[in-house]
């Protein structure tokens, strides 16, 4: 039985979030510049997103550029922004063909103007697609998002639009840039690093984590299937006991 056939499509995670890591090390392994890794990372994005759409996944979030990544050498940042613009432009017809809707989270106003325009154009063009929603995390960090949410909530309290006693997880969800997107049930990180790097700190509260030593450009359909199969074998207890889950 192929890996794909081992997936129980009635029990798919609703949302997979991926920290796509290892492009630089992958390029280094070939004696090439880091950007070579990023180019090949785009190919892995295409493969993964198309495989996710094909099996019927509803949401995928890809960590493409973090707030902290602005601190990389300027040349790498510029190359990444160029690559982002080119890729979104080039892939828009494929998104349409595959019924994929594009969304973004993060401090988009920090991106170069050209990048913002292309992003918005593709978001608008794909907004009615109702297959997979692909969320690109760009200039994103969870702390940035949480700080913004706190500022907005505090402003509402100050203006007497919200009582402190009414602040709950629903109110906080509503003020995050992930508002309206279900929390990820599965988080994948490639490249062998076992850390969260400021990604979706709030939203991953009950996600299952899957780590693979594979570098992102080597990530293939089968790797996505493996992560889903692994996820489907886990018992998600949400604080309860195993016995409670069986009797319910």
- The SS3 call for residue 78 is helix
Q: Which of 5, 40, 69, 71 is catalytic?
A: 69
Residue 92 touches which of ligand IPE, Mg ion, none (CB < 5 to 8 A by kind)? Answer: none
Taking the complex as a whole, the smallest distance from the CB of residue 209 to ligand IPE amounts, in Å, to: 14
Instruction: Specify the DSSP element, H or E, that contains 135.
Output: strand 133-140
**12 versus 186: smaller Cβ distance to ligand IPE:** 186
**218 versus 221: smaller Cβ distance to ligand IPE:** 218
Residue 106 touches which of Mg ion, ligand IPE, none (CB < 5 to 8 A by kind)? Answer: none
Instruction: For residue 195, state whether it binds ligand IPE (rule: CB under 6 A).
Output: yes
Is 69 one of the catalytic residues? yes
Q: Which stretch binds Mg ion (CB under 5 A): 17-25, 26-34, 92-100, 107-115?
A: 17-25
Nearest in space to 51 (alpha carbons), one of 188, 186, 219: 219
Instruction: For residue 63, state whether it binds ligand IPE (rule: CB under 6 A).
Output: yes
Instruction: For residue 64, state whether it binds ligand IPE (rule: CB under 6 A).
Output: yes
The DSSP-derived string for 158-214 is HTTSS-GGG--HHHHHHHSTTTTSPPPSEEEE-TT----TTS-TTTTTTPEEEE--S
Query: Measured between alpha carbons, how far is 171 from 163 in angstroms, rounded to an integer?
Result: 11
The phi, psi pair for 208, rounded to 5°, reads -85, 135
Is 179 one of the catalytic residues? no
- Residues noted as catalytic: 21, 69
């Amino acid at each position: 039985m192929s890996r794909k056939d081992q997936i129980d499509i009635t029990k798919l995670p609703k949302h997979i979030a991926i920290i796509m890591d290892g492009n630089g090390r992958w390029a280094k392994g070939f004696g090439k510049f880091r950007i070579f890794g990023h180019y090949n990372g785009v190919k892995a994005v295409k493969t993964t997103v198309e495989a996710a759409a094909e099996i019927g996944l509803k949401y995928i979030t890809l960590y493409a550029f973090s707030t902290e990544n602005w601190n990389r050498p300027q040349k790498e940042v510029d190359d990444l922004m160029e690559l982002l613009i080119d890729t979104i432009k080039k892939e828009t017809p494929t998104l349409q063909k595959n019924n994929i809707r594009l969304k973004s989270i993060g401090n988009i106003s920090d991106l170069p103007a050209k990048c913002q325009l292309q992003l918005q154009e593709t978001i608008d063009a794909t907004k009615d697609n109702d297959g997979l929603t692909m969320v690109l995390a760009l200039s994103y960090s969870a702390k940035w998002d949480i700080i913004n949410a706190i500022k907005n909530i505090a402003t509402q309290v100050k203006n007497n639009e919200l009582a402190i006693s009414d602040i709950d997880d629903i109110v906080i969800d509503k003020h995050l840039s992930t508002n309206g997107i279900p929390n990820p049930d599965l988080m994948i990180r490639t490249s062998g690093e076992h850390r969260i790097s400021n990604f979706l700190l709030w939203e991953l509260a009950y996600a299952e984590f899957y780590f693979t030593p594979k570098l992102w450009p080597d990530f293939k359909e089968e790797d996505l299937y493996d992560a889903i199969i692994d996820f489907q074998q886990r018992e998600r207890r949400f604080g309860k006991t195993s016995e409670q889950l069986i009797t319910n």
